[in-house]
Structure 1
Amino acid sequence: MTKRIRFFDTTLRDGEQSPGCSMNHREKLMMAKQLEKLGVDVIEAGFAAASPGDFKSVKTIAEGITNSTVAVLARTVKGDIDKAWEAVKGAKKPRIHTFIATSGIHMEYKLKMSPEEVADRAEEMVAYARSLCSEVEFSAEDATRSNTDFLSEIFDRVIQAGASIINIPDTVGYTTPDEFYAFITEIKSKSKYLNDVEISVHCHNDLGLGVANSLAAIRAGATQIECTVNGIGERAGNAALEELAMILAVRGDTYDARSGIVTQEITKTSNLLSSITGVNVQPNKAIVGANAFAHESGIHQHGVLSNRETYEIMTPESVGLGNNSLVLGKHSGRHAFRDKVVSLGYEIDDEQLNIVFAEFKSLADKKKQIFDRDIEILLTKGIKESRDYYKLERFVINSGNTITTTASVVLDTPQNKKEGISFAQGPVDAAFKAIEQCIDRKIFLEDYSLQSITEGADALGYAVVKLRYKDRHFVGRDASINVVEASINAYINAINKLMREDDKEAESESIAV
């Protein structure tokens, strides 16, 4: 009988740990709701004990998700598990996911614990987590560099203590497909109880084998795959959800396996994550890259025009890549706009609708054509926090190929207006330097990118700015036909995130005192 593979998505936890991929509270909730529409079985919402912000995000997601299980990560530490349960207990289907390292190098140098102490701790804390939550997952961190005899022993003990899901992670992306298959098979043969519970794997992509190793694990008996959208995550990332989902959709017969992923939601999910994080996938990325269904070769074009199956093993429609058609314009009303937003699969309240609709009308006055992707960018851009410290009032750029560029930027702050004037070789550089004169923080520009959304000379310019302040990174985004304006607003967006984070830290310190 074809086995059902459960998809455990850790985009909001492991994925967010990827440099430049941090998300705020509302962005995480929007992403979680889209993951639920995608058909993800388990959403790992975060690491509740990591920070008050993570705790809040996990709690909100737990209370806002209906169909998917909501998991929360915790070390095998009582305080972590208490925080995890407090955050996730409001979920319809809660899960505590607790872990401890089991490889010799981790136990000796990181944990400074003996194997006996590690096994005792794991058993005790799994039992404690099970006393709070009906579903507990246990992970042996760095499993693929661990001793199989030790793993079989610790797995048996935590299963008896109440764990119903056992995760065997390739934490550093070290293993290979054949080796991983043999590794899992060997542990199963040595364990008394592993065949009675769900086996999960979490494969990193350091050697580019995350997806291949996950498929090898399915052959070896794994029924849960831990992955991320666009493959984001620590270092080289994780096994890519979209690739695994489409492999099972197209070649499920090879693995005698299927998933519950709604593949038509893949492109939208990928685009949403890119819009939120500002991190785009490379054009030749499988499934979701811009060139994934593009054909430039004359031979290929002729073949596809004759029969798409000559060069396409799956259709663009199967991953939700439909026609990017014009449907709305400057004369469209609020009801039509809301209907369009809903048809794109987004949920929006009246307050957000008012914000995004106003931006849509402004854009429609400037653009000849409004495409679905334009609206998606406006929806992401429309996520507002409760307070903006700085707002752009006006800017003036004087630039040319025979003069030094001058920028004047006026910002509105809660106290007063501030103006910065700066000179540079280009308009964006000059504008950024002018903004820096208006703020009382020493910040560093880590990265800046600008891309067009859809096509045409009047396409939206989508700007992403990454700032560094005190070893923390803040990503700002904005979109406008005026690319300099988009760049300035993206910079200000990142600064406002920085200021809100500083306020939260000051508030936490005040409460602690």
Structure 2
Amino acid sequence: MPSYRYASVYDRVEVPLAERHWPNAQISHAPLWVPVDLRDGNQALPDPMDPARKRRFFELLVAMGYKEIEVGYPSASQADYNFVRLLAESDIVPADVTIVVFTPARRDLIERTVDSVWGITGDVVVHMYTATAPTWRDVVLGRDGAELRGLVLAGGRDVLEFTGEAGNIRFEFSPEVFNLTEPDYVLGLCDDMTRLWDATPERPVILNLPATVEVATPNVYADQIEYMHRNLARRDSVILSVHPHNDRGTGVACAELAILAGAQRVEGCVFGNGERTGNVDIATLALNMHAQGIDPMIDFSNIDEIARTVEYCTRMPIHERHPYVGALVHTAFSGTHQDAIKKGLAEHRERALRTGRSEREIDWRVPYLPIDPADIGRAYDAVIRVNSQSGKGGFAYVLLTEYGLDLPREMQIDFARRAQALADERGVEIKPGELYDLFVATYGKGALNAS
């Protein structure tokens, strides 16, 4: 493979930090979450959401507890404009939910974007973006650094002009492809915007720093975020936001390290939809925090209903191995894993009885299961399933949980040998009913009472 054609990130952009603090930091609370499924996620779909699907997705996000939602790109399509107008002219936006609309730094498109939000009585964020990295400046926009700075400032002034005295509208700026932009150039541009928009602690400006195309290991992105965090001119008047993509498969790690480095806000999609390999998966990110004892402030207690809604709205399936939500993520086929899970679940039940507390209240210590499936609305019936890779513990667990058959150890060993032979012969998963039939055929119905 011609790997010589590709430059290291260290040859493409200066990585600014020599002394870093983020490796010693710990995540202690959830960031501000901003789902962009209705804009960034929607524009990546082969079949964009129709109005009914978009409304259903919006209502799902509200029900889950998101307080800031990017709802569209109103200047890009009539459908997006109409959806924002629906929000403005109806009562489906709760008073405590902020609406975000997205626009390029172009006067006519800014005007249409601002026009779309008139009538929304709650908080609104106008989110302006411009690509800033050298390749984008040279190849896509045909402007040098000074010319691009002029374009961005002109867009910022247009935002001020069209929003006027509207006290409910705040501002967000994204230097698109931040992660490939010269650090001092993008820092100066962000300081220009907070000065132009008069950022104050009472009315902060959101500076959103995207890894628009993921090109480096997550530690590099963390260094870039920490550099901005430590050097922005009006840091107490800025909400520092990140928007990682997943081109290298490390979008979640990029976001976690960015939070360590000073980010306060994360944009992404529920289950990670988005252009190419997707945006950062804010469901995985939130449940990773849950698994560390941090309240993500978002409700995933019925994850299967969330998944059904997302699949319906996007018309795209969720992979069976997708973290937390996939159909197989809480399932063990391996014999050693099954044995450990079976013993862990038994210890969990016994400890709850011994302490007189609910199984849902006591510490979770079950091997191979990072969180209790019940936390996200899953039952234990699919935790252990059996095939030719399974051991005696797995076969015995299925018979116990499905049919109340508690096999003595000697019978477990004998039955496992027979069940494995059946599984080897079939070459597929053995269903509980087939195991039960094998048990009866082997030991007779009288063994049902003896076990």
Q: More strand by proportion, 1 or 2?
A: 1
Inter-CA distance 4–19: structure 2 relative to 1 (3 Å threshold): closer
**Hey, what's the Cα distance between the residues in 2 that align with 1:186 and 1:260?**
28
RMSD of the TM alignment (CA)?
A: 2.3
Q: Does 1:35 align with 2:61?
A: yes
Shift of 1:19: 3.8
- Alignment counterpart, residue 304 of structure 1, candidates 332, 337, 341: 341
| Corresponding residue of 1:154 | 189
| Corresponding residue of 1:224 | 265
What percent identity do the matched residue pairs reach? 26
Cα pair 1:97 1:139 within 8 Å, conserved: yes
1:120-131 → structure 2 map (5 Å cutoff): 120-131=150-161
Cα pair 1:15 1:21 within 8 Å, conserved: no
Shift of 1:102: 0.8
Inter-CA distance 3–89: structure 2 relative to 1 (3 Å threshold): farther
| Corresponding residue of 2:353 | none
Inter-CA distance 130–260: structure 2 relative to 1 (3 Å threshold): farther
Cα pair 1:20 1:279 within 8 Å, conserved: no
**Hey, what's the Cα distance between the residues in 2 that align with 1:252 and 1:124?**
45
Inter-CA distance 271–322: structure 2 relative to 1 (3 Å threshold): farther
Inter-CA distance 2–72: structure 2 relative to 1 (3 Å threshold): same
- Residue identity in the other structure for 1:117: E
Shift of 1:59: 2.3
1:230 is paired with a residue whose SS is: coil
Shift of 1:184: 1.4
Shift of 1:269: 2.1
Inter-CA distance 322–28: structure 2 relative to 1 (3 Å threshold): farther
Over residues 109-142 of structure 1, what are the superposed CA-to-partner deviations in whole Å (9 max), with x where a residue is unaligned? 1111221222222233224324515211110000
Shift of 1:322: 5.3
Cα pair 1:95 1:135 within 8 Å, conserved: yes
2:38 is paired with a residue whose SS is: coil
**Hey, what's the Cα distance between the residues in 2 that align with 1:159 and 1:220?**
20
- Residue identity in the other structure for 1:269: I
Cα pair 1:232 1:238 within 8 Å, conserved: yes
Shift of 1:41: 2.7
1:219-258 → structure 2 map (5 Å cutoff): 219-251=260-292, 258=295
| Corresponding residue of 1:391 | none
Over residues 388-445 of structure 1, what are the superposed CA-to-partner deviations in whole Å (9 max), with x where a residue is unaligned? xxxxxxxxxxxxxxxxxxxxxxxxxxxxxxxxxxxxxxxxxxxxxxxxxxxxxxxxxx
Structure 1 alignment gaps of length 5 or more = 325-455, 457-513
**Hey, what's the Cα distance between the residues in 2 that align with 1:20 and 1:196?**
39
Inter-CA distance 156–314: structure 2 relative to 1 (3 Å threshold): same
2:227 is paired with a residue whose SS is: helix
1:262-281 → structure 2 map (5 Å cutoff): 262-281=299-318
2:39 is paired with a residue whose SS is: coil
| Corresponding residue of 1:345 | none
| Corresponding residue of 1:501 | none
Cα pair 1:266 1:319 within 8 Å, conserved: yes
1:320-399 → structure 2 map (5 Å cutoff): 320-321=377-378
1:307 is paired with a residue whose SS is: helix
Inter-CA distance 321–2: structure 2 relative to 1 (3 Å threshold): same
1:175-254 → structure 2 map (5 Å cutoff): 175-251=216-292
| Corresponding residue of 1:332 | none
**Hey, what's the Cα distance between the residues in 1 that align with 2:375 and 2:117?**
34
Farther off after superposition, 177-186 or 244-253: 244-253
Farther off after superposition, 273-282 or 46-55: 273-282
Shift of 1:203: 0.6
**Hey, what's the Cα distance between the residues in 2 that align with 1:68 and 1:223?**
18
| Corresponding residue of 2:209 | 168
Please say which structure displays the higher CA radius of gyration. Answer: 2
- Alignment counterpart, residue 93 of structure 2, candidates 65, 80, 98: 65
**Hey, what's the Cα distance between the residues in 1 that align with 2:301 and 2:338?**
24
The runs of at least 4 consecutive aligned structure 1 residues that moved more than 6 Å come to none
Farther off after superposition, 286-295 or 1-10: 1-10
Over residues 129-172 of structure 1, what are the superposed CA-to-partner deviations in whole Å (9 max), with x where a residue is unaligned? 24515211110000000000011100001111226100000001
Over residues 457-503 of structure 1, what are the superposed CA-to-partner deviations in whole Å (9 max), with x where a residue is unaligned? xxxxxxxxxxxxxxxxxxxxxxxxxxxxxxxxxxxxxxxxxxxxxxx
Cα pair 2:206 2:239 within 8 Å, conserved: yes
Q: Does 1:113 align with 2:143?
A: yes
TM-score, with length taken from structure 1: 0.59
**Hey, what's the Cα distance between the residues in 1 that align with 2:305 and 2:112?**
33
- Residue identity in the other structure for 1:23: M
| Corresponding residue of 2:331 | 294
Structure 2 alignment gaps of length 5 or more = 1-26, 200-204, 346-365, 382-432, 434-451
**Hey, what's the Cα distance between the residues in 2 that align with 1:86 and 1:322?**
48
**Hey, what's the Cα distance between the residues in 2 that align with 1:251 and 1:89?**
42
Q: How many residues align?
A: 322
- Residue identity in the other structure for 1:226: E
| Corresponding residue of 1:137 | 172
**Hey, what's the Cα distance between the residues in 1 that align with 2:288 and 2:251?**
13
**Hey, what's the Cα distance between the residues in 2 that align with 1:207 and 1:57?**
33
Farther off after superposition, 287-296 or 122-131: 122-131
| Corresponding residue of 2:113 | 84
**Hey, what's the Cα distance between the residues in 2 that align with 1:267 and 1:203?**
25
Over residues 168-213 of structure 1, what are the superposed CA-to-partner deviations in whole Å (9 max), with x where a residue is unaligned? 0000112321111111122334431245311111111111011110
- Residue identity in the other structure for 2:322: K
Cα pair 1:143 1:168 within 8 Å, conserved: yes
**Hey, what's the Cα distance between the residues in 1 that align with 2:224 and 2:217?**
10
Cα pair 1:71 1:88 within 8 Å, conserved: no
Which structure has the higher relative contact order (CA within 8 Å, separation 6+)?
2
Shift of 1:317: 2.4
2:151 is paired with a residue whose SS is: helix
**Hey, what's the Cα distance between the residues in 2 that align with 1:205 and 1:286?**
14
Shift of 1:60: 1.9
